[in-house]
Amino acid sequence: MFSRDVLAKLRILVVEDDEDMQENLRRILMLAGCQVHLARNGPEAITILQTQPFDLILTHSLMPQMGGLELLGEIRRLGRSLPVVFLSAFGSRAAFTKAMDLGAVGFVTKPFQANSLLEVIREVFDRP
């Protein structure tokens, strides 16, 4: 399992429009020791990103107003090179490929196990 000490150093912005899923993600990450901030959509995430530093963004791929792919594009246009991990209930190969082509560092298919999510985050920070 992922070291609590390493997770405790991570500031993660969770971008999720479903309140129940948002709360589940918050709980999983906080129990693992992460500092978690929440955004309900892409525009709210952009506003938060302009005022606070983060180590990672965890975003749902399909949301009203601005989906995860559009959010990733906007983050890159702002000159931010933050790692972005996508969450999707539709784990299609095409969605995975497009997210990775745009610079995502991970992709988690819903529903997921807490340990699987934490493993993806660990892999992001274990890379040289």
pLDDT at 3: 47
Phi-psi region of 33 (alpha: psi -120 to 50; beta: other; left: phi over 0): left
Q: pTM for this one? A: 0.89
Identify the CATH number of the domain in which residue 40 sits: 3.40.50.2300
Residues 6+ apart with CB under 8 A from 107: 85, 86, 88, 91, 95, 96, 99, 100, 120
pLDDT at 1: 43
Q: What is the mean pLDDT of the chain?
A: 88
In a domain, 121, yes or no: no
In a domain, 65, yes or no: yes
In a domain, 19, yes or no: yes
In a domain, 124, yes or no: no
Tell me the residue range of the domain where 25 lies.
Answer: 4-114
Q: Which helix (H) or strand (E) holds 36?
A: strand 35-39
- Tell me what the mean pLDDT of segment 66-70 comes to: 86
pLDDT in tens, 17-64: 999 999 999 999 999 999 999 999 999 999 999 999 999 999 988 888
pLDDT at 128: 62
- Tell me what the mean pLDDT of segment 81-100 comes to: 81
In a domain, 87, yes or no: yes
Question: What angle do the packed helices 114-126 and 19-31 form, to 10 degrees?
Answer: 60
